[in-house]
Structure 1
């Protein structure tokens, strides 16, 4: 399962070993115990990856082969590709942008996408130094 947590300036992508159902169940139980509203709704999430990352072409192939309908890849410009994922948005139901996006794909695609995202983050931090 992939979990995207949005922050004020960016987002964080995690690859979790729990199934989507297990994770949502735990989240529902937690919300009930603390008396917090929980809204779960179908949604999409998008982020950019540099097109020059090693492995981007393999991700395109894997996404077409194994996970059509859950992941879409589109070239934005000469430098970036947009990754759009279909999944669920969990929030307290308010109009605020606070929440977590979760989705599930084949283990291989999840791991590969997470690895590419980590590589993009490390490249970005090296360039900013």
Structure 2
């Protein structure tokens, strides 16, 4: 399962071993126990990845293999591609963009997507420090 946590300034991508159903059930129970409002709705999430990362071609092949159309890749320009995922958005129901997006694709595609996202974070951090 992929979990994207969106904050005011950025997002963080995690690859979790729990099933989507188990994770959502645990999140619902937590919200009930602490008296927190929880809104769950179908949604999409998108983010950019540098197109020149090693392994992008492997991810493209994995996406072609998966016929459920949960993940799509689209070239934005010569430097970036947009990754769009279909899944569920969990938030407190307010209109702000803070919340958690969860989805499940093939284990292999999740692994490659997470690895590419980590590499993109490392490369952008090294560019910022230079």
In structure 1, stretches of 5+ residues that fail to align are: none
Deviations 1:33-85 (A, max 9, x none): 01111110000000000000001111111011025410000000000000000
Over 4 Å off, 4+ runs: none
**Greater shift after overlay, 65-74 or 9-18?**
65-74
Whether the 8 Å contact between 1:51 and 1:80 is mirrored in structure 2 is: yes
Normalised by the length of structure 2, the TM-score is: 0.96
Match of 1:42, SS state, is strand
Whether the 8 Å contact between 1:67 and 1:105 is mirrored in structure 2 is: no
TM superposition shift of 1:7: 1.9
The answer to whether residue 14 in structure 2 is matched with residue 8 in structure 1 is no
Counterpart for residue 59 of structure 1: 59
Aligned positions, number:
129
Aligned-pair Cα RMSD in Å: 0.9
The answer to whether residue 121 in structure 2 is matched with residue 121 in structure 1 is yes
Match of 1:96, SS state, is coil
Normalised by the length of structure 1, the TM-score is: 0.97
